[in-house]
Amino acid sequence: LKGAQDSQFPPRLPACARRLAPGMAMRRRAGSMDAAFAPNKVQKSKLDFSRGSRKERDLLGEREVPADAYFGVQTLRAVENYNITGILIRNFPEFIIALAQVKKACAKANHKLGLLGTDKCEAICHACDELIDPENDILGENRGAVMRKNFVVDMIQGGAGTSTNMNANEVIANRALEHLGHKKGEYEFCHPNDDVNKGQSTNDAYPTSAKIATIIMHEELMLAIRKLSEAFFKKGREFAEVVKMGRTQLQDAVPMTLGQEFHAYGTTVHYDLESVKNAINRFMITNLGGTAIGTGIAADPHFSQVVVQELRDVTNFPITLADDLIEASSSLGAMLFLSGILRRVAVKVSKICNDLRLL
């Protein structure tokens, strides 16, 4: 629905379908996903090493990373392994904002628990703030926008989001290093895993970020649904005296007013407004602190309670901790529920469009 309203941001799903099923013959229009996202395709051969490189090491060995890149070696490997759709995480700014909010809340929680030093915490939080609001740049360096461009992993990837999580950890860590007066890659002073990702797992940080991004994005959808509903109600009043034939099975049946028909359209759309609101409430529940499988292993026993309060403060959303972290870590019921509602909205709008063709 967002894409349908904004020609600058075309619908995402058709492009995924085209790339995941290349044998399907699908028409391409001007301004399609392929054209919109083509400049953002990143391949190993296209990484910019013109300003030199730096060496980084992980468990698989040592690799060279572009010297000025905020991402690191694990992001580099993800770019090589998952060049699937060509649509990169940097095309989803709300998700990047949410990732930064989660990392900031975790840093503050770890600091409050005495697990992260003050200097590191402040540097990490500063880096996160630059990602959250690139316009709020008192130094005029535009670092936030540059950092966002460093989210170069593909939107489709293996590992349930591990590559995206590490992309965020590395970008934030390398920017934090600059705030601490060090060079990118000097992870002994601020480490992507040991510091930025402390107390977390992809399995709690990633879905929590996805939920927060959905909460952020749903406001635009709510506004569109509300405007559509109000427009139908307005037409209902305008056409209150216009008599027409009501139809059943596409055949003339009994009289009604055109105003009644439009009022019904407004009502059915308004019902979905309430449904979306109810669905979004389920996104306020997080498993953050459950780490890999919900048991909280490798995290401080008080981390989950502390980080949820910090996340409320950072996001200004009434986020609560799931009653059962294991269940919350293994279930995406909230997203499934919202998906069903959005499908219903789409079907209803399609039905209304078909009705309008018969007028």
User: Which tokens hold the place of 25?
Assistant: 């013959």
Asked if 209 and 217 count as a contact pair (C-beta separation under 8 A), the reply is no
Cα atoms in the Cβ-side hemisphere of radius 13 Å centred on 184 = 22
Site of tokens 């063709």 = 357
Same CATH topology for 41-198 and 209-357: the answer is: no
Distances (CA, A) of 323 to 66, 212, 287, 342: 44, 19, 9, 27
Gap between the Cα atoms of 303 and 113, Å rounded: 8
Predicted pLDDT at 43: 47
Q: Contact, 225 vs 211, CB < 8 A?
A: no
Q: What is the pLDDT of residues 113-139, one digit of tens each?
A: 999 999 999 999 999 999 999 887 655
Q: Which burial class, exposed, middle or buried, applies to 270 when counting CB atoms under 10 A from its CB (0-12, 13-18, 19+)?
A: middle
Q: What is the pLDDT of residues 241-258, one digit of tens each?
A: 999 999 898 888 999 999
Residue 92 sits at φ, ψ, to 5 deg, of -125, 75
Alpha helices (H) in the chain, listed in sequence order: 2-5, 13-20, 33-37, 73-81, 93-112, 118-132, 143-149, 162-179, 202-238, 258-281, 303-315, 325-330, 333-357
Burial class (CB in 10 A: 0-12, 13-18, 19+), 84: middle
41-198: CATH topology: Fumarase C; Chain B, domain 1 (1.10.275)
pLDDT at 29: 37
Type of residue numbered 278: N
What pLDDT score was predicted for residue 11? 37
pLDDT of residue 138: 57
- The pLDDT score that the predictor gives to residue 140 is 61
Cβ pair 200, 169 in contact under 8 A: no
Both tokens of 198, joined, read 């402390």
Q: Do 84 and 22 contact (CB within 8 A), yes or no?
A: no
Q: Does domain 209-357 have CATH number 3.30.300.30?
A: no
Residues 6+ apart with CB under 8 A from 129: 100, 104, 136
Ranges of residues in the chain with a pLDDT under 50 are 1-40, 42-45
d(CA 279, CA 336): 10
pTM value > 0.75: yes
Residue 52 token pair:
């030199």
**Tokens in use for 12?**
């995402």
**The predicted structure's pLDDT at residue 47:** 81
| Cα–Cα dist 249/328, whole Å | 45
User: What pLDDT does 139 receive?
Assistant: 58
Domain map (residue ranges) of the chain: 1-32, 41-198, 209-357
The Cα 339–Cα 322 span in angstroms is 21
How far, in Å, CA of 320 to CA of 299, rounded? 18
